[in-house]
């Protein structure tokens, strides 16, 4: 099978690999689409994502496909089923797994990070992370289920209520997913701050966003929001997120900053405004919710997927040679 193998820091090779073998509890998937995201940029550059990727390895953690074969102990899917695969595999035995916080697992492994992923014609995963798709969810849209599931975990960590006014900072793919998902979870208004007029306008026209702020020339109203989702990962936008918080606000710090970065905030405000500053890491058991959001039409990702790449183009994308990408998915198989 054809595979794009990360062979070293910023080094890819197209290789012909043998069909992966499956254990009794595993599924072999013919890859349809693999989304590529900021985590792949990090792994490609030798920085850790949810975990470190050690070359040689096949990346690709936002995968959809069709089941090719199943191990003897697998009962949830069968050959021919259209599926999406949650990359994250938890040990089930550490303190965190045993206290309903598997995302913090001490022995996290992940398809496309610590084991071969979807940037190959086939990959394997334990049946426990393979989810059958509803008929009305396309394999291309299904590549967005993993990112949606990360956003779903973020909103799970908040207490969302219909009275709330929410602000999303960041008009990248994740920020735009958040603009939709907070509405699906019931807040009464969502505004969006970003740096691209076209994307901001599209979110008003297509996705029910009320007010938009282009932060290259407009400021975000201070102390105005009950829920703020930071989806950029810069100290400056993290500070903007806190500045936008009104009394009792919850601030979700979703963006991933550089490992050494810090941002400053007034500590008295945390007390006086009773703020919640909430981190969010990956997507524990939120795949079902993500699939339902697409199946019900409460979330619409097709207009956000701007590029369909081939395996040969992934390096060009990660090196920044493909411009104007909103979200790229790699079409791996038919
Ligand atoms: N917590 C998690 O589990 C998790 C999961 C996925 C992604 N992330 C993180 O979420 C963040 C967003 O992800 P993404 O895929 O959308 O990445 P992205 O690179 O597309 O998002 C960044 C976007 O933010 C916008 N932006 C840049 N500077 C800005 C500014 N000053 N003000 C407002 N907007 C600005 C731009 O549109 C840019 O494209 C990244 O940091 C990513 O690593 C976290
Ligand atoms: Zn990703
Ligand atoms: Zn564990």
Residues 160-182 have pLDDT tens digits of 999 999 999 999 999 999 999 99
Q: How far is the CA of 170 from the centre of ligand 1 (A)?
A: 6
Express each pLDDT in 114-155 by its tens digit.
999 999 999 999 999 999 999 999 999 999 999 999 999 999
Q: Is 329 in the pocket of ligand 1 (CB under 6 A)?
A: no
For the CA of 111, the nearest ligand = 2
Cα separation, 210 vs 224, whole angstroms: 14
Does the model's pTM come out above 0.95? yes
Express each pLDDT in 226-261 by its tens digit.
999 999 999 999 999 999 999 999 999 999 988 999
Q: Which atom of ligand 1 is nearest to the CA of 39?
A: 43
How many other C-beta atoms are found inside a 10 Å radius of the C-beta of residue 159?
11
Q: Is 237 in the pocket of ligand 1 (CB under 6 A)?
A: yes
Q: Is 118 in the pocket of ligand 1 (CB under 6 A)?
A: no
Cα separation, 179 vs 168, whole angstroms: 6
pLDDT for the residue 151: 98
Residue to substitute in 87, 88, 174, 257 for testing ligand 1 pocket (most ligand atoms within 8 angstroms of CB): 174
**Closest listed residue to residue 84, CA positions, set 127, 43, 18, 131:** 131
CATH number of 2-149+283-331: 3.90.180.10
Q: Where are the domains of the chain?
A: 2-149+283-331, 158-279
Architecture of domain 158-279: 3-Layer(aba) Sandwich (3.40)
Are the folds of 2-149+283-331 and 158-279 the same?
no
Q: Which atom of ligand 1 is nearest to the CA of 283?
A: 3
What is the mean predicted confidence (pLDDT) over 15-19?
A: 98
Cα separation, 53 vs 36, whole angstroms: 15
Contact indicator for 85, 130 with CB cutoff of 8 Å? yes
Residue 93: both structure tokens together: 């035995």
For the CA of 282, the nearest ligand = 1
């Amino acid at each position: 099978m054809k595979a794009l193998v990360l062979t070293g820091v910023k080094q890819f090779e197209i290789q012909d690999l043998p069909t992966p073998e499956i254990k009794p509890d595993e599924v072999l998937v013919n890859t349809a689409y693999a989304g590529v995201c900021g985590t792949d940029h990090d792994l490609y550059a030798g920085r850790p994502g949810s975990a470190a990727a050690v070359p040689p390895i096949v990346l690709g953690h936002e995968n959809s496909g069709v089941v090719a074969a199943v191990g003897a102990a697998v009962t949830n899917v069968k050959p021919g089923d259209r599926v999406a695969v949650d990359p994250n595999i938890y040990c089930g035995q550490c303190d965190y797994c045993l206290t309903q916080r598997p995302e913090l697992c001490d022995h996290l492994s992940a398809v496309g990070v610590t084991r071969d992923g979807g940037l190959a014609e086939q990959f394997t995963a334990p049946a426990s992370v393979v989810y059958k798709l509803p008929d009305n969810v396309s394999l291309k849209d299904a590549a967005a289920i993993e990112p949606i599931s990360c956003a779903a975990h973020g909103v799970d960590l908040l207490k969302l209520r219909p009275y709330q006014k929410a602000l999303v900072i960041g008009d990248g793919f994740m920020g735009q997913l958040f603009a939709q998902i907070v509405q699906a979870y019931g807040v009464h208004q969502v505004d969006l701050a970003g740096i691209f007029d076209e994307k901001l306008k599209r979110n008003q026209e297509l996705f029910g966003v009320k007010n938009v702020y282009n932060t290259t020339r407009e400021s975000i109203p201070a102390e105005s929001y009950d829920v703020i989702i930071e989806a950029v990962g810069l100290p400056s936008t993290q500070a903007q997120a806190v500045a936008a918080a009104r009394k009792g606000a919850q601030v979700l710090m979703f963006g991933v900053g550089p490992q050494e970065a810090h941002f400053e905030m007034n500590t008295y405000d945390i007390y006086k405004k009773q703020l919640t500053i909430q981190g969010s890491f990956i997507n524990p058991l939120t795949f079902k919710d993500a699939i339902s959001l697409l199946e019900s039409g409460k979330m619409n990702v097709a207009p956000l997927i701007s590029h369909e790449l081939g395996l040969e183009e992934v390096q060009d994308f990660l090196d920044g040679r493909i411009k104007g990408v909103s979200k790229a998915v790699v079409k791996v198989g038919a």
